[in-house]
Amino acid sequence: MRRENARRFERKQFDLVDMDSVPVPDKQSPGPEQNMETEWLRRHIAELTEEYREPLLLQVLGGFSGEEIAEILDLNKNTVMTRLFRARNKLKEAMDQDKSSRGQSNG
């Protein structure tokens, strides 16, 4: 049984490919569209007032919860949650405004 299995394996021809000739896509680096969106988001976050920008950055970049942000900023948790909600709404409004102005200028 072993010999037969060994013979089958010896006869089997595997398709080999030279690794240098196969292009490997770079999935780690963001593309140009992602870079533009990231820059747009940074610009609009920077335009937010500090009371909205600070909790948003702590949550999104720092990964802190609402309670942790409240402790860090010495605020009530409900105040932090309200500011986060308003900060996101301001970003959504900016996004909608940019989309509508792009449509008008492009034709």
Residue 26 included in any domain: no
Residue 42 included in any domain: no
Residue 65 included in any domain: yes
Q: Residue 57: which of 83, 92, 76 has the closest Cα?
A: 83
Please give the DSSP secondary-structure letter assigned to residue 27: -
Q: How many domains does the chain have?
A: 1
Residue 5 included in any domain: no
**Are residues 56 and 84 in contact, defined by beta-carbon separation less than 8 angstroms?**
yes
Residue 77 included in any domain: yes
pLDDT at 21: 75
Domain that holds residue 74: 51-98
Q: Find the mean pLDDT for residues 80-103.
A: 87
Residue 64 included in any domain: yes
Q: For residue 98, is pLDDT > 60?
A: yes
Q: For residue 89, is pLDDT > 80?
A: yes
How does pLDDT run across 36-80, given as a tens digit for each residue? Answer: 888 888 999 999 999 999 999 999 999 999 999 999 999 999 999
The CATH number assigned to the domain holding 90 equals 1.10.10.10
